[in-house]
Structure 1
């Protein structure tokens, strides 16, 4: 995996590079000391994995992830503080390693990456259905706890990332499904469903109002009252998509 190391301590970066040497699948393509250095590297190099410190000068690790526009890489947090663990997994982190990094814990984290990359073999007809792009006329089965729905996609106005889950907004229901927003984005018809920012995909047919917003972004109001910010970068794509 193409990997960036982001940590304000040079010695910590060097130590992590040393620990990662035995893992041939980890290709370190760059390093950064802070968010300002990291963001242009992420945009230009398109890494698949970040080893990311949390407490850094300027933007912290969480703020850096929030600032990434478009599809974010996988993340393993590396930090000297254990109080951020819950918040880390709200950001869909693969793992959370405490400094000084233990070689066995690092091995577990690498194994977790490999497990996530291995897909179970399914019958051909199941694979074909799983790879099908879903449009507004498709119906999907949704289960949250004891409740179940068979809902037409055109009724879902908003998909909201909640850590390892996605919250679906339709009618007055807001069930959670165990999916990542990135995986859902790959399955949804891009002519109808638009990635507004790191946390939200909106149904374009549900847009009620559009307003200019901070830093060149847009604020859209959906029928039903949800207000969603379209990031500056995505606002450019949005205008291109919606213009004559």
Structure 2
């Protein structure tokens, strides 16, 4: 009989222990190699141990379940979400051969989820994780969040919090409404593919959030936020002014 490794992630201690106990009673094919209350600390073990199955909560402080998946170097696990909330496109996730369980976890549903995960592993569904990553990106897009790779990992930034994107030397500096900036190795052109209609390219190196525009200066500048000036080229001037007509 083959044994499958599993890692459990849930910020609630009681929920984590209950799930662990249920899995151990329900299946003798699952070896729980690690449990974590801190999703950030779980990342290294997931990358190192490459569990066959990953059980994770969705709503967690610091890093939610979707963000956790996106932070894994190369996802090789079957993912089973465990959550008290039913509003995270869970039916769509289930259609992508990834199961989910609503808390409190039902024993029958847990066994079905484990059996499904094992079946996927045995059939070697190579496209399943690609489908999951694509789905998560779509969910993030629907929430109007921009996925920003940084030196520390990946930030998910609500687009309404961005006032200006500035490209330089192949990097992008993202200016936020609170005055903070985030630098990413993604080029400005790559980010432009994911921005919504509130953003306007006013210069080859600058994209501004129209909602943050405070003024247009004849010398060739757009004023955004608290008197922050961004250059606008003649090529984009008329199209920019037409947005306000």
Q: When the two structures are superposed, what TM-score results if normalisation uses the length of structure 1?
A: 0.50
Which of these two proteins has the greater Rg computed from alpha carbons? 2
Q: When the two structures are superposed, what TM-score results if normalisation uses the length of structure 2?
A: 0.49
